[in-house]
Amino acid sequence: MESGAYCASLNKKEKISSLKSFLEEKYLQYNKPSFIPSDPVSIPHLFKKKQDIEIMGLWAAVLAWGQRVTIINKCRELIELMGNSPHDFILNHKENDLKRFLHFKHRTFNATDTLYFIEFFKNYYSKHQSLENAFLEKMNAGDKNIENGLIGFHEIFFALEDFPERTRKHISTPSRNSACKRLNMFLRWMVRKDEHGVDFGIWKKIKPAQLICPCDVHVERVGRKLGLIKRKQMDWKTAVELTGNLRLLDPDDPVKYDFALFGLGVEKEF
């Protein structure tokens, strides 16, 4: 497989066909249950209850930077602090129970952020059954992608009085031209569903075709080598560009190729 001038001698249709075959093969190679244990997606896989999956899925995605082993361990620490029942704890904890979180920290995510997440979850789940609704608030019929959903979620997340300004850096939004890598990964987990069992597919109102590919350093590097990314910087427009090119390969489920791009990058196959 060439990089840069990928299949330069082929016409456009042949290039697309060749690239699709290559990425389909890698998608199947990496999208399997053996992927789960070493990835942050293993955290929501510890649960069966929908709300527990949502809560720990979002938290695992937000904390997903640094070494994957450390991310998983910090998420397990959070679960233990919530008595191994996140949704039940969120709804029924007492003020005194929050003291145990005062020393929780992962990189720049600290106790202030943790306590606000708990406050948001309590306020939200006291009124709603699923976090999916928070992403639907600003979406319109016919939206091509999840951009309005992400903007709406950011507004809802920080709608509580006296939210800590410092926590804004942990919930990104396209309105600031962020690539929204972690939230897009969370959405992939919740929305996509196939027979391989990594993604959950427990949300039904957002379509896989509307998702945007999570762009971490591995996905970005491989995407550029394959000619799927042309923009120099990494931002929201670049994530949309990448997803648009992946949509040429599979218009109904473009983000499935996240498995291929990420796997190729991590395994240094490409």
What pLDDT score was predicted for residue 270? 66
Mean pLDDT rounded to a whole number for the chain: 95
Residue range 66-88: mean pLDDT, rounded: 97
Residue range 6-34: mean pLDDT, rounded: 85
What pLDDT score was predicted for residue 12? 77
Instruction: Write the CA distances from 13 to 141, 189, 205, integer angstroms.
Output: 31, 31, 33
What pLDDT score was predicted for residue 7? 46
User: Are residues 35 and 198 in contact, defined by beta-carbon separation less than 8 angstroms?
Assistant: yes
Q: What would the 3-class secondary structure string for the chain be? A: CCCCCCCCCCCHHHHHHHHHHHHHHHHHHHCCHHHCCCCHHHCHHHCCCHHHHHHHHHHHHHCCCCCHHHHHHHHHHHHHHCCCCHHHHHHHCCHHHHHHHCCCCECCECHHHHHHHHHHHHHHHCCCCCCHHHHHCCCCCCCCCCHHHHHHHHHHHCCCCCCCHHHHHHCCCHHHCCCCHHHHHHHHHHHCCCCCCCCCCCCCCCCHHHCCCCCCHHHHHHHHHCCCCCCCCCCHHHHHHHHHHHHCCCCCCHHHHHHHHHHHHHCCCC
Q: Which residues contact 106 (CB under 8 A, 6 or more apart)?
A: 63, 66, 70, 71, 74
What pLDDT score was predicted for residue 185? 98
Q: pTM score, two decimals? A: 0.94
Residue range 236-261: mean pLDDT, rounded: 98
The mean-pLDDT minimum among 6-10, 64-68, 202-206, 245-249 falls in 6-10
What pLDDT score was predicted for residue 202? 98
What pLDDT score was predicted for residue 9? 46
Q: Which residues contact 171 (CB under 8 A, 6 or more apart)?
A: 62, 153, 154, 157, 158, 183
The domain limits of the chain are 12-30+213-266, 42-181
